[in-house]
Amino acid sequence: MDFLDLEPVVLPAELDGLRADVRAFLRDELSAGRIESRCDQWLGGWDAGFSARLGERGWLGMAFPERYGGTAAGALARFVVTEELLAAGAPVAAHWIADRQSGPSLLRFGTEEQKHAFLPRIARGECFFAAGMSEPDTGSDLASVRARGTRVDGGWRLAGTKVWTSGAHRAHAMIVLVRTGPRTADRHAGLSQFIVELPDPDVHVRPIRLLTGEHHFNEVVLDDVFVPDARVLGEPGSGWRQVTSELAMERSGPERFLSTFPLLSLAVERLRDHDASRVGAVVARMWALRQASLAVAGRLAAGAAPAVQAAAVKDLGTRFESVVTDTVRSLTRAVPDLGSDQALPRLLAEAILDGPGFTLRGGTNEILRGVIAKELGAR
């Protein structure tokens, strides 16, 4: 189990002031009615104006160098801001993928032109990204992608279909993983990433609606899309190494166990005098997940790519989200109701209806356990 021996990370005391500033800002936003606390807002809470206000305060692109529009505050400072935004149930979906993974991928693998074209806009909350990874009939097995990139004069032609592509109908760009080399015994060879700028007449975005009827996920059809050489991310053929690095960022953050935190917070307030042991057990489990997530953030800040550790955090976090919902549901008499003017019934309904999507985004639990089993030598 050495792969799970993550070095504990203690947040520096100087970040306490940052946390207090973010909390004060969120209190003002909530009290003024500019935002509303809801569950799962990093997927469903699309508010470009709120993202821009975060950008004005330097709370986006915090790990970007100043020359690219960032603040160079670092990954741990970003972790603090992220925690507070999620805990408040703030609408962060617009900038989420760009700030969490697309921007860092551009910073690590992109050309100077690409960095200057996208990173300052991401840091200002003006440029949003989608992630074109999963495909129909392949689930979370990225090595089985069938979308293809064909070399043409001046660039590449991309053809294929992506699915579960969050926010693609609103994004300004999408980083797409496709196969550019022949299939060989090495399933990870011959993959490449491309930056597809949106909208594009040859990119067709079709909604996949949730149980609530909300539209966050999409099927994206690449219909012989031309991408110039200037929009190849990294080196052709290096896509697997790059996307693995990206997945470590995608799977390990506090969003993997704080999607339902507004519901848990309210339950603690309501139930602590009646069912303290059961509620306390849930909170203790959340705190352990936080420490694991923070440890992965520390590894990422040090330049590592802890993909297996991130898979463990995501798997455990997804299951924890269901525990929160089931515990609150069993301990209260609240009837789930999306239209309720009371917070508990509304938040409970949101958590229940959003729950089936938790395991889809970032990789299904079964695939994640396969990643862990392979590391352990069990498969």
Examine residue 145 and state whether it is found in any structural domain, yes or no. yes
Answer yes or no: do 152 and 116 share one domain. no
Structure tokens at 325: 């919902």
Q: 58, 93, 127: which is the final residue of a domain?
A: 127
At 271 the pLDDT is 77
Looking at the fold, whether 75 and 189 belong to one and the same domain comes out as no
Residue 244 lies in a domain: no
The per-residue pLDDT for 284 is 93
Query: What pLDDT is stored for residue 32 in this prediction?
Result: 97
Q: How many domains does the chain have?
A: 3
The reply to whether 6 falls in a domain is no
Least confident range from 20-24, 37-41, 154-158: namely 37-41
**Which of 6-10, 193-197, 214-218 is the least confident region?**
6-10
Domain co-membership, 57 together with 139: no
Among 238, 267, 283, identify where a domain stops. Answer: 238
| Average confidence score pLDDT of the chain | 90
Q: Specify whether 296 is located in the same domain as 199.
A: no
Range of 60's domain? Answer: 13-127
229-287 per-position pLDDT tens digit: 999 999 999 999 999 888 777 778 888 899 999 999 988 888 776 777 888 899 999 99
DSSP class of 3: G
Distances (CA, A) of 6 to 240, 289, 296, 300, 313: 24, 12, 7, 11, 11
Query: What residues contact 224, with CB distance under 8 A and at least 6 apart?
Result: 157, 158, 159, 202
Whole-angstrom distance, CA of residue 142 vs CA of residue 200: 24
Who wins on pLDDT, 13 or 334?
13
Give the range among 14-18, 75-79, 302-306 with minimum mean pLDDT: 302-306
* Residue 178 confidence (pLDDT): 97
Looking up residue 175, the CATH number of its domain turns out to be: 2.40.110.10
Residues above pLDDT 70, as percent of the chain: 97
What integer pLDDT is reported at residue 10 of this predicted model?
87
On whether residue 163 sits in a domain, the answer given is yes
Among 69-83, 178-192, 292-306, whose mean pLDDT is lowest?
292-306
Q: Are residues 262 and 372 in the same domain?
A: yes
- Co-location of 84 and 150 in the same domain: no
| Pair (321, 355) in one structural domain | yes
Q: Does residue 118 lie within any of the structural domains?
A: yes
The enclosing domain of 34 has a CATH number of 1.10.540.10
In a shared domain, residues 93 and 186:
no
Question: Is pLDDT at 34 greater than 90 in this prediction?
Answer: yes
Tell me, yes or no, whether 4 lies in a domain.
no
The tokens of 148 are what? 């293809």
Going by pLDDT thresholds of 50, 70 and 90, the confidence category of residue 2 is low
Is pLDDT above 90 for 194? yes
Whether residue 165 is found in the same domain as residue 142: yes
Residues 215 and 107 in one domain: no
Q: Is residue 2 part of a domain?
A: no
Last residue of a domain, one of 86, 108, 127: 127
Quote the pLDDT of residue 110: 98
Average pLDDT value for residue range 172-185 = 93
